[in-house]
């Protein structure tokens, strides 16, 4: 429970369905204010660094982690008549921050919410649930867990504009059966707010956070510079033919598809098309050089039975959180990577982001992390 409207209404819906609910607020160690509340010692028994704590925290989009803090979560819990535990996940969040910074140093663009969901919300939090004998964990994400014919699937939310299944693809398949997503069947965010208002919940009019919880003022560049000043080095800006067009102040300051802030007068719009951290080079070009026919992904996670290696399959492909899925084909290769071909070229295929595969009915097949884009000439 973040103290925001989504997790608050999710808790209410579960209680109405007859579940015995315990709210859990995750403390990250990021700018908390002490509030003097102790949680039960059961958290100490969870493997790793999950321990009793106090404080406020915030998080970015990715579901149910809008930053309202433990005080807001406690107020909602009291209104709903359920207990609230505040647990520290500081060490786990520190590892997520280190990964986030390292990815930018490597010239990649990370998605920390996917990692947080896998490792913390549907990882360490489930470990805590086991320690206190809880059968399920639930969040305010907009996605669905479907139970059909003895199998469990992750699927898109009924509220497509708010769908967050993309950032949940990394959940371990064997853990899906322990997950509840009470808002997945609701097709209108306004209805969620109306429920909260009708219940008199203080969360009903709280704004949504669009920032990453550990990035103050949404300035990721400042975080990378502070953590890895050695990685911020002046280098060359080149075009795809290798011609030097200018200089840059550090690869970490750029992302694929970036147009503004390049400081190069080319006469026509140019974009960052590639980042080469090994040579400390930013490659730029016209918009058409942003387009790719496909991609290669690694570190796959399947939420359904994977197809036989080498077999081409078809489905819907999504390459960013705020991105419409497009038709595509894909095959799992013997080396454990995934080859994807788009039905039509896609712009700004970005290493470090996730690619998620869907069936036509919205069921998540699986996904992985984009290693590189491909063109037909790569065949």
pLDDT digits (tens, 9 = 90+) for 333-369: 989 999 999 999 999 999 999 999 999 999 999 999 9
Query: Pick the residue with more confidence: 114 or 187?
Result: 114
Residue at token pair 């100490």: 44
Mean per-residue pLDDT of the chain: 86
Catalytic residue chosen out of the listed positions 65, 116, 179, 313: 116
What average pLDDT does the segment 42-60 reach?
Answer: 33
Question: What pLDDT score was predicted for residue 144?
Answer: 97
Is the CB of residue 185 less than 8 Å from the CB of residue 158?
Answer: yes
Query: Per residue in 185-220, pLDDT tens?
Result: 998 889 999 999 999 987 777 666 666 778 877 889
Which range has the worst mean pLDDT, 1-5, 29-33, 73-77?
29-33
- Per cent of the chain over pLDDT 70 is 87
- Residue 203 pLDDT: 74
Residue 49: predicted pLDDT: 36
Active-site residue identified among 21, 65, 113, 213: 213
Which residue has better confidence, 56 or 327?
Answer: 327
Which SS3 state, helix, strand or coil, does residue 36 take?
Answer: coil
Pairing of strands 143-148, 151-156: antiparallel
Q: Can you tell me the distance from the alpha carbon of 372 to that of 369, in angstroms, rounded to the nearest whole number?
A: 9
Rounded distance between C-alpha atoms, residue 196 and residue 3, angstroms:
12
Q: How many residues does the chain have?
A: 379
Which residues, listed in sequence order, are joined to residue 24 by a DSSP beta bridge? 85
pLDDT at 267: 79
376 within 8 A of 296, measured Cβ to Cβ: no
**pLDDT (0 to 100) of residue 379:** 56
For residues 257-274, give the mean pLDDT: 88
287-312 pLDDT, tens digit per residue, is 999 999 999 999 999 999 999 999 99
Angle, CA of 143, 133 and 117, to the nearest 5°:
30
Give me the domains of the chain, ranges plus CATH numbers. Answer: 5-217 (3.40.50.620), 233-285 (2.30.30.280), 290-378 (2.40.30.10)
Q: List the one residue out of 181, 140, 171 whose CA is nearest residue 2.
A: 140
Residue 72's pLDDT band (boundaries 50, 70, 90)?
Answer: confident
Point out the least confidently predicted range of 199-208, 229-238, 246-255. Answer: 199-208
User: pTM score, two decimals?
Assistant: 0.87
Q: Can you give the pLDDT at residue 209?
A: 63
Per the annotation, the verdict on 179 as an active-site residue is no
The question of whether 116 is a catalytic residue gets the answer yes
């Amino acid at each position: 429970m973040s103290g925001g409207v989504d997790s608050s209404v999710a808790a209410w819906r579960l209680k109405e369905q007859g579940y015995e609910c315990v709210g859990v607020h995750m403390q990250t160690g990021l700018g908390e204010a002490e509030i003097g509340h102790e949680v039960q010692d059961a958290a100490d028994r969870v493997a790793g660094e999950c321990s009793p704590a106090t404080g406020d925290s915030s998080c970015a989009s990715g579901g149910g982690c809008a930053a309202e803090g433990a005080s807001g979560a406690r107020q909602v819990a009291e209104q709903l008549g359920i207990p609230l535990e505040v647990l520290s996940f500081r060490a786990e969040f520190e590892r997520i921050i280190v990964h986030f910074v390292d990815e930018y140093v490597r010239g990649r663009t990370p998605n920390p919410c996917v990692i947080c969901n896998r490792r913390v919300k549907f990882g360490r939090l489930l470990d805590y649930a086991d320690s206190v004998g809880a059968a399920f964990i639930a969040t305010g994400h907009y996605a669905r867990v479907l139970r059909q014919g003895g199998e469990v699937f992750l699927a898109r939310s009924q509220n497509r504009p708010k769908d967050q299944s993309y950032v949940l693809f990394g959940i371990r398949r064997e853990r899906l059966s322990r997950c509840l997503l009470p808002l997945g069947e609701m097709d209108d965010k306004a209805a969620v707010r109306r429920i909260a208002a009708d219940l008199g919940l203080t969360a009903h009019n709280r704004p949504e956070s669009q920032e990453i919880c550990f990035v103050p003022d949404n300035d990721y560049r400042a975080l990378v510079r502070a953590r890895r000043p050695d990685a911020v080095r002046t280098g060359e800006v080149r075009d795809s033919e290798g011609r030097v067009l200018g200089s840059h102040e550090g690869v970490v300051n750029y992302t694929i598809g970036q147009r503004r802030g390049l400081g190069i007068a080319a006469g026509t719009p140019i974009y960052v098309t590639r980042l080469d951290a090994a040579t400390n080079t930013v490659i730029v070009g016209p918009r058409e050089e942003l387009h790719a026919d496909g991609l290669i992904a690694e570190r796959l996670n399947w939420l359904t039975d994977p197809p036989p290696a080498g077999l081409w399959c078809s489905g819907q492909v999504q390459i960013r959180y705020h991105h419409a899925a497009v038709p595509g084909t894909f095959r799992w290769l013997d080396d454990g990577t995934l080859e994807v071909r788009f039905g039509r070229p896609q712009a700004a295929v970005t290493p470090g982001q996730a690619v998620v595969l869907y069936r036509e009915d919205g069921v998540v097949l699986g996904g992985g992390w984009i290693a590189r884009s491909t063109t037909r000439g790569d065949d």
